[in-house]
Amino acid sequence: MDLPKFSLDAEILSQEQMAENVYRMTVHCPQIAGVAQPGTFVQMRLLGGDVLLRRPLGIAEAEREKGTLSFLYRVLGKGTAAFSRLRPGAQVNLLGPLGHGFCMDLHRPLLVGGGMGLSPLLFYARCMEKRADVLMGGRHAGEMFWTELFKPYVSKSYLATDDGSLGSKGFAVSLLPKLLEKGEYDAVIACGPEIMMERAAEMAKAAGIPCQVSLEKRMACGLGACLSCSVDASDGTRKKVCKDGPVFWAEEVFP
Amino acid sequence: MNGGLLKTELAGISMNTPVLTASGTFGFGEEFAEFVDLSLLGGVMVKGTTRKPRRGNAGVRIAETPSGMLNCIGLENPGVDVFLQETLPRLMPYHMNVIVNISGTTVEEYGVLAEMLDVPGVAAIELNVSCPNVKDGGIVFGTDPKAAASVVKAAKKWTKKPVILKLSPNVTDIVLMAKAVEAAGADAISLINTLLGMEIDIHTWRPTLGNITGGLSGPCVKPVALRMVWQVAQNVKVPVIGMGGIASWQDAVEFFLAGASAVAVGTANFVNPHAAMDIIRGLEAYLQEKKLGSIRELVGKMDCG
Ligand SMILES: Cc1cc2nc3c(=O)[nH]c(=O)nc-3n(C[C@H](O)[C@H](O)[C@H](O)COP(=O)(O)OP(=O)(O)OC[C@H]3O[C@@H](n4cnc5c(N)ncnc54)[C@H](O)[C@@H]3O)c2cc1C
Ligand SMILES: Cc1cc2nc3c(=O)[nH]c(=O)nc-3n(C[C@H](O)[C@H](O)[C@H](O)COP(=O)(O)O)c2cc1C
């Protein structure tokens, strides 16, 4: 089902730095907050300035009562750098909610997220009201503010950092087979680097449970029109990450 | 809306407004239905359609540039059969002028596509002889006046629909191209397609785009597009559809003054999904303010003193 879409100016309520180059922006946008589903995203546009195209950002939090949306994003290039310089009171334009979100019809999902991929999983965890556990991967302890963010919404969290400065050392997915062993989970919901999601999908398959992944591709329109973000699907058709995704069942897009 | 003012006719196509949307930037129109009243547009030039489905280019397909973007989509599309069987019937309820942008690999293929698309529900066909992102054909027809003329003749022979030829800016003499396709029977000329460009990642020393080169569009190309529209409009009798970097009604007014009978909005749709609607409203207000009775009173009226 497609959600109604809006293109609106939204006021920035807060902008905080969470770690080096990582920010949380909260905006007032009741229309989008009212209908957004976990896994859907917005195309954020800078008003004025020298950035032309919108940038896709997953929705990290949507507070329906307050009418607010939050985004957690890493500064990579000119667009995200410009976002990080905006102060409360400034406006951005949001096009959204876009795409299809995660399956909500699960009893005990295990969330697997790496880096900024944890952002849409936060919204999902919150909607699951403690029924989900989360396995998190990050570069180093400095980036693991995520543990605090997830704590109120998940029942257990597991963690790995590339340098071992917090949690286990190495890739988060290496912990996955052990977590899936007990047969406690009914699905794996993954968002992060593609290689991480591919491995998570393989392990879920080996454990006999379904897996959803959220793909990331450069996109321009966000509406399925420009075909910047299309990918090959396993059945030989082409899928648009912005419109058919960004969330797919792993077997739809991974061989 | 005070109808009338913006109503126009171009190559036999009656249009509620002279504002169209450019091929490849607006899907099949339906993707934008929540933001644009499609029946108010002069037409939707739908995504480039080919005889067989195409998966397009591998790798990164877009990059932002100063005031613009590069793309190398590579004409990804489901092919004309799917367009006719599935897409076109779905578009009927929108009551819009569907202008099908077609690309062939041979002159004959343009004829075949033109004939297949000579069906109710198609308002016109636009010949894309200038897609810079496909290696087979495309650019060759777009840069050689004789080849472009033969493509027009092939299409005209097989369809009764108006035939619009879309010119590439990647030529030395745009007027020569325009005269050649007019002589071959084109009912209208649209320009410009994208300008060939590229970007290199200085950290990896690799091209940003999967296809190495891509087509430049957006505000940065507007001055070039405007100049070409002006040059062409003075030298042909057929109507010109101007496009290239149009993002506001003010931009559109410049194109009309340069000689365009209609304009098309491209990259701006990505920035603002209701850009075309905003342009329509702005044009109408401008005509009222200038006390003009029709958009036609603006066309080609640049005053060089
Ligand atoms: C559906 C979706 C949801 C996303 N959600 C988030 C999120 O919640 N938090 C977050 O930090 N990031 C998210 N991203 C990635 C984010 O959109 C990019 O990091 C951003 O567009 C980069 O823009 P820039 O101007 O800063 O970089 P640019 O100057 O455009 O490029 C800098 C670098 O970013 C890469 N890049 C450019 N565009 C994209 C893109 N669309 N996707 C991925 N990489 C890109 C380029 O390869 C380049 O190396 C998401 C992407 C998608 C497709
Ligand atoms: C992503 C993208 C895809 C395009 N695809 C096509 C196409 O399939 N056929 C075509 O004739 N032109 C295509 N174009 C060119 C546009 O129709 C238009 O001529 C050009 O972008 C200039 O207008 P603009 O600056 O307003 O975008 C494409 C442009 C973009 C940005």
**pLDDT tens-digit map of A3-49:** 899 999 999 999 999 999 999 999 999 999 999 999 999 999 999 88
pLDDT tops 90 at residue B130: no
Tell how far the Cα of B218 is from the centroid of ligand 2, in angstroms. Answer: 9
Q: What's the pLDDT band for B3 if we cut at 50, 70, 90? A: low
Determine whether the shortest distance from the Cβ of B50 to ligand 2 is under 6 A. no
Distance between CA atoms of B174 and A102, rounded to whole angstroms? 51
Q: What's the A55 CA to ligand 1 centre distance in angstroms?
A: 7
What pLDDT sits at residue B134? 55
pLDDT value at residue A232: 95
Q: Do A224 and B273 touch (CB under 8 A)?
A: no
Catalytic residues of B: 131
Sorted by sequence, the CB contacts under 8 Å of residue B301 that are 6+ apart come out as B256, B257
Among B49, B9, B13, CA closest to B161: B13
pLDDT tens-digit map of A47-81: 988 899 999 999 999 999 999 999 999 999 999 99
Give the Cα separation of B132 and B38 in Å (integer).
28
In angstroms, the CA A244 to CA A251 distance is 14
What does the alpha-carbon distance between residue B224 and residue B216 come to, in Å, rounded to a whole number?
11
Take atom 8 of ligand 2 and give the residue whose Cα is closest. B48
**pLDDT of A195-236, one tens digit each?**
999 999 999 999 999 999 999 999 999 999 999 999 999 999
Cβ-Cβ contacts under 8 Å, A45 against chain B: 271-272
Chain B residue with minimum CA distance to A226:
B25
Nearest CA in chain B to A223: B31
pLDDT of residue B140: 72
Cα–Cα distance for residue pair A45/A24, rounded to 1 Å: 16
- What is the nearest CA distance from A151 to chain B, expressed in angstroms? 37
- pLDDT band per the 50, 70, 90 thresholds, residue A170: confident
Of chain A, the end-to-end C-alpha distance in Å amounts to: 26
Residue A152 has pLDDT above 80, yes or no: yes
| Closest-lying ligand 2 atom to the alpha carbon of residue B243 | 23
Q: Is the dihedral of CA B275, B281, B284, B285 positive or negative?
A: negative
Domain A6-98 has CATH 2.40.30.10: yes
What tens digit of pLDDT does each residue of B196-247 get? Answer: 999 999 999 999 999 999 999 999 999 999 999 999 999 999 999 999 999 9
Between chains, do B269 and A221 touch, taking CB under 8 Å as contact?
yes
Residue A227: closest C-alpha in chain B: B73
Q: What is the identity of the amino acid at B280?
A: I
Q: What is the pLDDT of residue B88?
A: 97
SS3 B41: coil
- State which residue of chain B sits closest to A94, comparing Cα positions: B272
pTM for the whole thing? 0.95
Phi, psi at B62, each rounded to 5°:
-140, 155
Pairing mode, strands B240-243 and B188-191: parallel
For an interface test with B, the pick among A9, A44, A95, A226 (most B C-beta atoms closer than 10 Å) comes out as A226
Our measurement of the distance from residue B32's CA atom to the centroid of its chain's CA atoms, rounded to an integer in Å, reads 17
Domain with CATH 3.40.50.80 in chain A: 109-253
CA distances in angstroms from B157 to B56, B110, B188, B207, listed in the order given: 29, 10, 16, 42
Phi/psi region, residue A107 (left: phi>0; alpha: psi -120 to 50; beta: rest), is alpha
Q: How confident is the model at residue A133 (pLDDT cuts 50, 70, 90)?
A: very high
CATH number assigned to the domain with residue range A109-253, chosen from the 4 options 3.30.360.10, 3.40.50.80, 3.10.28.10, 3.90.79.10:
3.40.50.80
Element spanning A208, H or E: none
- pLDDT confidence of residue A167: 83
Cα-to-chain-centroid distance, residue B286: 24
Q: Is the pLDDT of residue A185 over 70?
A: yes
Check residue A76 and give its pLDDT.
95
Cα–Cα distances in angstroms (integers) from residue B146 to residues A141, B48, B184, B236, in the given order: 66, 22, 9, 17
Predicted pLDDT of residue A160? 87
**Peptide bond just before A97 cis, omega within 30 deg:** yes
Amino acid identity for residue B57 in this structure: N
Q: Which of A4, A79, A238 sits opposite B76 (nearest CB)?
A: A238
In the DSSP assignment, the letter for residue B77 is B
Residue A45 to residue A30: CA distance in whole angstroms = 17
From the list B26, B69, B218, which residue is nearest A225 (CB)? B26
Q: What pLDDT does residue B305 have?
A: 83
If you ran DSSP here, which 8-state letter would residue B280 be given? H
Question: HEC states along B249-268?
Answer: HHHHHHHHHHCCCEEEECCH
Atom of ligand 2 nearest to the CA of B194: 20
pLDDT per residue as tens digits for the range B72-109: 999 999 999 999 999 999 999 999 999 999 999 889 99
d(C-alpha A198, C-alpha A211), whole Å: 10
| Closest Cβ opposite residue A52 in set B32, B71, B218 | B218
Nearest Cα of chain B lies from the Cα of A141 at a distance, in angstroms, of: 27
* Among B41, B43, B18, B68, residue whose Cα is nearest residue B222: B68
Q: Which residues of chain A neighbour B61 with C-beta distances below 8 Å?
A: 218, 227-229
Q: Where in chain A is the domain with CATH 2.40.30.10?
A: 6-98
Give phi and psi for B276, each to the nearest 5. -65, -40
Instruction: State which of B19, B76, B194 you would mutate to test the pocket of ligand 2, scoring each by most atoms of that ligand within 8 A of its C-beta.
Output: B194
Identity at B198, one-letter amino acid code: M
Lowest mean pLDDT among A129-143, A187-201, B199-213: A129-143
Q: Is B128 in the pocket of ligand 2 (CB under 6 A)?
A: yes
Domains in chain B: ranges and CATH: 8-56+75-198+218-298 (3.20.20.70)
Tell me whether residues B273 and A243 touch, CB distance under 8 A.
no
**Lowest mean pLDDT, pick from A150-159, A166-175, B113-122, B250-259:** A166-175
CB B24 within 8 A of CB A226: yes
Kindly give the number of the ligand 2 atom that is closest to the alpha carbon of B126: 11
Size of interface A-B (CB pairs under 8 A): 83
Asked if A82 contacts A92 with a C-beta cutoff of 8 angstroms, the reply is no
Q: Is A238 in the pocket of ligand 1 (CB under 6 A)?
A: no
Give tens-digit pLDDT for B56-70: 999 999 999 999 999
| CA–CA dist A200, A211 (Å, integer) | 8
Cβ(A117) to ligand 1 under 6 A?
Answer: no
Q: Is the CB of A158 under 6 A from ligand 1?
A: no
Looking at residue A169, its pLDDT comes to 83
Q: Ligand 1: which residue has its CA nearest to atom 25?
A: A79
Contact A227, B26 (CB under 8 A): no
- Search chain B and give the residue with CA nearest A236: B55
Kindly determine whether residue A220 and residue B270, on different chains, have CB atoms separated by under 8 Å: yes
Burial class (CB in 10 A: 0-12, 13-18, 19+), B105: middle
Structure tokens given for B151: 């493509």
Do residues B261 and B17 lie in contact, with contact meaning Cβ atoms separated by under 8 Å? Answer: no
Please, which residues have CB within 8 angstroms of residue A111's CB and are 6 or more apart in sequence? A121, A124, A125, A132, A133, A134, A135, A154, A188, A189, A190, A191
Chain A residues in contact with B24 by the CB 8 A cut-off are 226-227
pLDDT at B281: 97
Query: In terms of C-beta density within 10 A (0-12 exposed, 13-18 middle, 19 or more buried), how is residue A71 classed?
Result: buried
Tokens 């003749």 sit on residue? B153
Q: Which ligand has its closest atom nearest to the C-alpha of B20?
A: 2
